[in-house]
Amino acid sequence: MFDAGKLSKITNTNFAGGIIDINFSQLTPYKAMLDKIDDGSGNNSYNLNVKDVTAAAATLTGANSHVQTMTVTDIGSSVGGRLAELDALQDGGQLTAIKLTDASNIINITSDAYDASSTKALTILNHTDAKPSGDYKLALSAMSITNAADSTYAANTDDHVVTYTASAEGADIVTNLADLEDATKLQVINRTDGGLDGTENAMALTGAQYADQVTTLNKIQTNGVAGYHAVVSELAADDIARALQDRNVDTFDVSDTAENLGKNILDLQAAQTDSNAQMTAVAQSDAGDIALSITDYTTAVDVRGDKMAAMTWNVSDVATTDLSAVLNDDAVSLVGVKDTAAAIQDTTMLGSTGSEGLIDDPVLSAKIDSITISDNAVLELTGAQYTSNVTAGGGTGLLDKISNANGDVYHANLTDLDAAHIAVATADPSVDHFAVLDVGSELTTNLSDLMAASAGDKLTAVAVGAQDGSPTDDVTIEIAKADFLNADEGAGYVTADYADLISKTTGDFQVKLTA
């Protein structure tokens, strides 16, 4: 065993260039012996290369005038805690290597420490044969929000940095939101201006930011607690439901197209009636009516009457029983009716004489955009209902808007059709069959149409009488004798054709054969 007490001197014969390797653990035990080194001139001169110095002891070791170089060996947390000291030693040339004993563990340092050390201690941190650029992992804290948002910033490109946190005021977070969305290493953003309870300086977010920067917004903490306060402007209607559930959002106003407002009308209604009263306003970003089903129209009564009061509506699937109320809503521009054939043919819908129907009012009628027969059944209409509501008959045009739910044209049977509209009904593909009621003079006037209809398969019967049912003497149908008695089958109608018509004719009537 070495006994320093018996050794009087060690002469260092190559002080100028020689260096003594020593482990850090040997430095103190060997101090007495090292004090006996003499350079031949009576000076205690020698140079040491101290290996495996702990991070905590590095600065003190470096202060030893004999220590020319050293290496540090320690766990990552210790290295991180002394990084500034190690930077100085590296920068001064004494520290030549830092070896980690726990390379798999993450070293936590501040962003400032990272910036300072990136050209110093970190350049010599745990370089191994397997990882010549250094085998270590860093987690940075308190990074500036601009650095975090800068994809070219060192921490964003350095593979050693696995995560980091940033700190900023709300406004700066908002400014950098889009770029922060790409900062995949960013774990937490600490808001610094939220006040003691975090409610101050609510961040002003656009609806687009709120929708698109979800990942970043979810990283925000205020006073160490996840969350923030924000006021969202021009929120998309699709995001209303999320905002209603999001306690980070103090208030929001909505701005969107008619299509999207309509699609999200139930969320708008929910926001209108929500006790937190987050929604402050609703704006439509384009022109046109907002399309709603009758169910949604009814449900959304509150928001329609308040924040959407200036908007106009296109209401579909309206049953005839609801039609009056919907049509008389000044905010409703268009109405799509959907009901059974029986309901649609009701007199309150189509009128019975052209002046009694609910939508004989031209203003209200004009609002009817379409009428769908939900059961695809055949309409049973009076002639008056038909003629007063079909454009070709000079009516409101309401019947022209009818179609079956299966996409087919509607089908109708007509009773008591007046003779003047026989041609219209004959040409109308929606009319399956019709029966005529009119006085003799009208039947005479429209005899050619009547004969054409009789030759077809639509005319089922002809009654001679007044349209209003009153007694009449006008019961004579005048037919040219030459036509009526025509036996030439190659020339127009023959007697058999007239006989066929007469067989369909009822009532007390006469045929007068004229010259």
Partner 1 sequence: MVEESIRAGQEPAAVSEVMTPAGALKALADGAVGAITVAGTAKEVSAHLAALAGATANGSIASIAITDDKPLKVSKEDFRVHAKAYAQVLELITARPLQLTFH
Q: Which stretch binds partner 1 (CB under 8 A): 223-231, 352-360, 447-455, 488-496?
A: 488-496
Among 286, 355, 481, 492, binds partner 1 (CB under 8 A): 481
- Give the 3-state secondary structure of residue 95: strand
Judged by CB under 8 A, does residue 491 bind partner 1? no
Judged by CB under 8 A, does residue 512 bind partner 1? yes
Among 104, 487, 490, 491, binds partner 1 (CB under 8 A): 487
Nearest to 106 by CA among 55, 161, 153, 52: 161
- Smallest distance, partner 1 to C-beta of residue 432, A: 24
Closest to partner 1 by CB, 46 vs 498, is 498
Q: Which stretch binds partner 1 (CB under 8 A): 75-83, 127-135, 369-377, 481-489?
A: 481-489
Q: Which stretch binds partner 1 (CB under 8 A): 60-68, 121-129, 398-406, 480-488?
A: 480-488
Angstrom distance (rounded) from CA 104 to CA 486: 113
3-state secondary structure 194-238: CCCCCCCCCEEEEHHHHHHCHHHHCCEEECCEECCCEEEEEECHH
Q: Which stretch binds partner 1 (CB under 8 A): 5-13, 111-119, 418-426, 484-492?
A: 484-492
- Smallest distance, partner 1 to C-beta of residue 494, A: 7
Judged by CB under 8 A, does residue 455 bind partner 1? no
Q: What share of the chain is helix, strand, coil (3-state, %, to 5)?
A: 35, 30, 35
- Smallest distance, partner 1 to C-beta of residue 457, A: 17
Are residues 451 and 501 in contact, defined by beta-carbon separation less than 8 angstroms? yes
Closest to partner 1 by CB, 248 vs 505, is 505
Instruction: Tell me how many residues contact partner 1 (CB under 8 A).
Output: 23
Closest to partner 1 by CB, 251 vs 505, is 505
Which token pair is 91? Answer: 């920068």
Q: Containing H/E element for 130?
A: none
Which token pair is 121? Answer: 């201690």
- Smallest distance, partner 1 to C-beta of residue 465, A: 15
Are residues 121 and 90 in contact, defined by beta-carbon separation less than 8 angstroms? yes
Give the torsion through C-alpha atoms of 307, 310, 312, 317, to 10 deg. Answer: 30
Contacts of 482 (CB under 8 A, 6+ apart): none
Judged by CB under 8 A, does residue 444 bind partner 1? no
Residues forming contacts to partner 1 in the complex (CB under 8 A) are: 476, 481, 484-487, 494-496, 498-500, 502-503, 505, 508-515
